[in-house]
Structure 1
Amino acid sequence: MPLTAGIVGLPNVGKSTLFNAITKSQVEAANYPFATIQPNVGVVEVPDHRLDRLSELFHPKKTIYTTFEFTDIAGLVKGASKGEGLGNQFLSNIRLTDAICHVVRCFDDADITHVEGSVDPIRDIEIINLELIMADLQTIENRLGKIERKAMTNKDKDALHEVATLKKLQEAFEAGKPARSVELDEDELAMLKAFSLLTLKPMIYVANMSEEEISDPQANVYYQRVKELADSEHNQVVAVCARIEEELSSLEPEEKKVFLNDLGIAESGLDRVIKAAYNILDLCTFLTAGEDECRAWTFRKGMLAPQCAGVIHTDFEKGFIRAECYKFEDIDALESEQAIKEAGKLRLEGKDYVVQDGDVLHFRFNV
């Protein structure tokens, strides 16, 4: 299942503009026949200069980037956890996401009315966070109502452990703190997985600012406040201009480069959001290269070679023999697999090898 970030935000903060840019930039369905793209889902390619370089060297028939999904989460407004707006309709969508991208308004514009009457990104963040906390509190209290009496009566060890963990979270939620702020061990996190708690998901703040200010976000006072808050929460913040992203989404790659250079911006905001999502979810990329296809594949940091083989096909994992492996940096410098072999840079790795970001792999397997 592809990894997904849910995009949330109050009305008139630029969420819809940013999502329009994402859906315009999304992949061609023909290249990804297994991706069912829903109207509220945008599937975008993850930019990777290493894959571009491999394509230059191998001249493959196809180049396939790895992908990331963004889901537009509608209905998240003040009072949503109590049934305001679209009420709890947003919950089922947001629970399925791996991370949350919270778009906050960091620009002044008299022509665009803010739902709260003024621009204050910290207040907006607190409104959304409170709705997520209240939804999680309801989940925890529902579970406690079912299990607490049984745990106390039967003195069941697992049930008592669950109650203790849920009580710890209940206390945090009642104090207005997210689940991310609670110290939880591996057993507690494993037990909580079934609840899909919203405030346990990693958060990226997307600071939407004006076209004039995007080239120097640090000069924007609103951005500074969001950055300070994000740092205190160990979350990430990415500065974007949703209007520029919408313009970029209709341009060809070369036109995009020229447009960004003219603005004095190194890379698009959408690319930075994708990279931040990768980073916050501990994701990496391994590569496969050949005359037929050069391709990037997503895996979680710490995965072993057979597990990464399984990312390509389950048969590869079942019948794994070994992986032929070299670093991207080596082929970038030496420019051919023959030169890699002659320089002694090609390695044979077994079942215990921990795959690294940027490894170029060829799996040997027997089914």
Structure 2
Amino acid sequence: MGVRVGIVGLPNVGKSTLFNALVEGSRAEVANYPFCTIDPNIGVVEVPDERVKILAEREGAAQAVPATVEFVDIAGLVRHASRGEGLGNQFLAHIREVEALAVVLRCFEDPEVVHVEGAVDPVRDLEILEVELIAKDLETVERRLSKVEKAARSGDRAAGEEYRHLEILRRILSEVEPLRKHREKIPPETLEYAFRTLFLLTLKPVLWVANLGEGDLPEGRENPHLVRLAERARNEGVPLIPLCAELEAQLAELSPEERREMLAAYGLAEPGLWRVIREAYGLLNLITFYTVNEKEARARTLRRGATALEAAAEIHTDMARGFIAAEVINFEDYRALSGLSEARKKGLVRLEGRDYPVKDGDILYIRFKV
């Protein structure tokens, strides 16, 4: 299944540098002026996962194929983008096409890199971005309200129900609040309507990436911008990932051994980008399951709570159509064994039906007949 995450932020905060590091040498342009990215750059990134490599080695598969996330480098938003400033309408349309947002926030000082707002302040930048997304959502809701209001007042039942959903959404947005912060208070049927019909920007899950200077590594605890941002993230329950995009871009060009040495020099256990990828993957409530044969061990993506039948459809529609049963062992049980042959001998591979909820790490073999 396709997973698309948009990288957003104000101009010159490090979005394209981060994108380049993510896709290891893509051709996203990086320059020191606003709007150097106009059309979105797109890169497919592997999800770091040792399990699929172990599975391939033990089962003698020719290759290991990890799950992937598609990142979209969206041009910088500016104040009043919702009114069309700085090509704002075009950029907001690109945001509408992704499933989640990675918001890059500049936390480094550098007089050589201009800031569109004049001074570095990631909390202010975050608020500018959120206000523009809220304004666009409010415009969407109010435009739809104007279309259904007359029919709703005349007694049309469907229009009346839609009007009630829109009013709930409008009230929240009118308070300059993103809808995702109020999901618990929004009736499930209203949420379903919003997702199905309106594709609102502030309902998308988000993570924040604090772009630090190299001198702030490894954790940036002394960086006052990061301290304020971390407090905001805790209060809102948003994942916050501190990293240095410039360093990540350098790491992406190194060999594995050189990368380990540089990480150790900065006191880092792993590239910050690995956490960005994992958090983006988890942000969408996704899990990974595995299939293996002599050609490949493959990590596959599934929504949490999906069934064995849905997993079969993710592999091939014929498997779902002729589904009989799924042979299942979780990777945590598999890890202690020499391979699937030993697992079967010990009776650790079980049969599950079509309604079995697939767990993260499950290794599946689908029995089917068409």
Please give the range of the TM-score, normalised by the shorter of the 2 chains.
over 0.9
After superposition, where does 1:53-132 map in structure 2 within 5 Å? 53-132=54-133
Partner of 2:279: 276
Partner of 2:189: 187
Partner of 2:31: none
Task: Give the superposition deviation at 1:171.
Answer: 1.8
In terms of mean alpha carbon deviation, does 182-191 or 237-246 score higher? 182-191
Taking the aligned partners of 1:105 and 1:345, their CA distance within structure 2 comes to 50
Q: Do the aligned partners of 2:40 and 2:73 also contact (CA within 8 Å) in 1?
A: no
Decide whether aligned partners of structure 1 residues 75 and 243 sit closer, same or farther in structure 2, where only a CA change above 3 A counts.
closer
Q: Do the aligned partners of 1:204 and 1:237 also contact (CA within 8 Å) in 2?
A: yes
Q: Do the aligned partners of 1:75 and 1:86 also contact (CA within 8 Å) in 2?
A: no
Equivalent position SS for 1:86: helix
Equivalent position SS for 2:215: coil
Partner of 2:4: 4
Task: Give the superposition deviation at 1:249.
Answer: 1.6
Task: Give the superposition deviation at 1:335.
Answer: 1.5
Task: Give the superposition deviation at 1:39.
Answer: 6.5
Partner of 1:197: 200
After superposition, where does 1:329-340 map in structure 2 within 5 Å? 329-340=332-343
Task: Kindly provide the amino acid, as one letter, of the partner of residue 296 in structure 2.
Answer: E
Equivalent position SS for 1:299: strand
**TM-score scaled by structure 1?**
0.93
Partner of 2:318: 315
Partner of 2:166: 166
Decide whether aligned partners of structure 1 residues 304 and 188 sit closer, same or farther in structure 2, where only a CA change above 3 A counts.
same
Task: Give the superposition deviation at 1:114.
Answer: 1.6
Equivalent position SS for 2:354: coil
Q: Which runs of 5+ in 2 are unaligned?
A: 27-38
After superposition, where does 1:172-251 map in structure 2 within 5 Å? 172-182=172-182, 183-193=185-195, 194-251=197-254
Task: Give the superposition deviation at 1:198.
Answer: 0.3
Question: Over residues 303-350 of structure 1, what are the superposed CA-to-partner deviations in whole Å (9 max), with x where a residue is unaligned?
Answer: 000101111111111111111111112221112212212222111111
**TM-score scaled by structure 2?**
0.92
Partner of 1:18: 18
Q: Do the aligned partners of 2:307 and 2:355 also contact (CA within 8 Å) in 1?
A: yes
Partner of 2:304: 301
Taking the aligned partners of 1:191 and 1:17, their CA distance within structure 2 comes to 37
Q: Do the aligned partners of 2:61 and 2:294 also contact (CA within 8 Å) in 1?
A: yes
Taking the aligned partners of 1:191 and 1:217, their CA distance within structure 2 comes to 42
Equivalent position SS for 1:6: strand
Q: Do the aligned partners of 1:74 and 1:86 also contact (CA within 8 Å) in 2?
A: no
Q: Do the aligned partners of 1:324 and 1:347 also contact (CA within 8 Å) in 2?
A: yes
Taking the aligned partners of 2:349 and 2:43, their CA distance within structure 1 comes to 38
Task: Give the superposition deviation at 1:85.
Answer: 0.4
Q: Do the aligned partners of 1:20 and 1:246 also contact (CA within 8 Å) in 2?
A: yes
In terms of mean alpha carbon deviation, does 356-365 or 170-179 score higher? 170-179
Task: Kindly provide the amino acid, as one letter, of the partner of residue 15 in structure 1.
Answer: K
Q: Do the aligned partners of 1:21 and 1:249 also contact (CA within 8 Å) in 2?
A: yes
After superposition, where does 1:126-145 map in structure 2 within 5 Å? 126-145=127-146
Pick from 346, 351, 356: which aligns with 1:343? 346
Equivalent position SS for 1:303: coil
Name segments (4+ residues, structure 1) moved above 4 Å.
Answer: none
Decide whether aligned partners of structure 1 residues 255 and 55 sit closer, same or farther in structure 2, where only a CA change above 3 A counts.
farther
Identity %: 46
Task: Give the superposition deviation at 1:262.
Answer: 2.6
Task: Give the superposition deviation at 1:75.
Answer: 4.6
Task: Give the superposition deviation at 1:238.
Answer: 0.9
Q: Do the aligned partners of 2:328 and 2:364 also contact (CA within 8 Å) in 1?
A: yes
Taking the aligned partners of 2:338 and 2:217, their CA distance within structure 1 comes to 38
Q: Which runs of 5+ in 1 are unaligned?
A: 27-37
